[in-house]
Amino acid sequence: MHDSRFSTGKSQSFYFPDDHLSMPSWFKGMVIIIAERGLWPADGLPVQCPSFCCSPGRTNCCCRRLLFSQPDFTGQKLQLQKAIKCYGHLYDFYPKYYCKMNFIEQYWGSMKLQFRAMGHITTMEEMEAKVVECLDDVSLLHIWSFILSFFLSIFL
Ligand SMILES: [Zn+2]
């Protein structure tokens, strides 16, 4: 993680300074970060709710939820995103666990449809050969149509 900036413009480093006596350059940890923000409650906070299941609507039930409800945390871009943009490239991160947005899943689905249409398979060798054959049978034009439809769904 890189330094954050509050709405007031004040900066907060998430790491101890390089010349820190006992933990040079170490991550400060959630408790210290929260305390530096003046948000640490007198009765403390658990690190996280059991099984990462916070009560809906709560923003101060645990350290994890409290930090991830801070505007500077939620608005922070990943270092990877910054690096990609710095080199003048475009990027597109797919929503996690939403396979329909990823065109490679459509390619895979098309392959599976052809595989099923080929009928019954009796050996592993036959299956491997048919998988390769089905992957090769999805035309490049078809793959490009997946990619194009994906980008059109974003921009239209
Ligand atoms: Zn929680």
Distance in Å, CA 50 to ligand 1 centroid: 8
Given a cut of 70, is residue 119 above it in pLDDT? yes
Given a cut of 80, is residue 151 above it in pLDDT? no
Distance in Å, CA 118 to ligand 1 centroid: 50
CA distance 69 to 74: 7
Distance in Å, CA 123 to ligand 1 centroid: 50
CA distance 62 to 77: 23
Is residue 92 within 8 A of residue 103, CB to CB? The reply is: no
Name the token pair of 7.
């709405």
Per-residue pLDDT tens over the stretch 47-98: 999 988 999 999 999 999 999 898 888 777 777 888 888 999 988 777 666 6
CA distance 44 to 41: 5
Residue 155 banded pLDDT, cuts 50, 70, 90: low
Count the neighbouring beta carbons within 10 Å of the beta carbon of residue 33. Answer: 22
Distance in Å, CA 93 to ligand 1 centroid: 26
Distance in Å, CA 27 to ligand 1 centroid: 21
Distance in Å, CA 65 to ligand 1 centroid: 5
**Rg of the Cα trace of the chain?**
24
Question: CA end-to-end span of the chain, whole Å?
Answer: 34
* Residue pointed to by tokens 């990877």: 80
Domain boundaries, the chain: 4-77, 99-155
Q: Which helix (H) or strand (E) holds 11?
A: strand 11-12
The pTM of the whole model exceeds 0.85: no
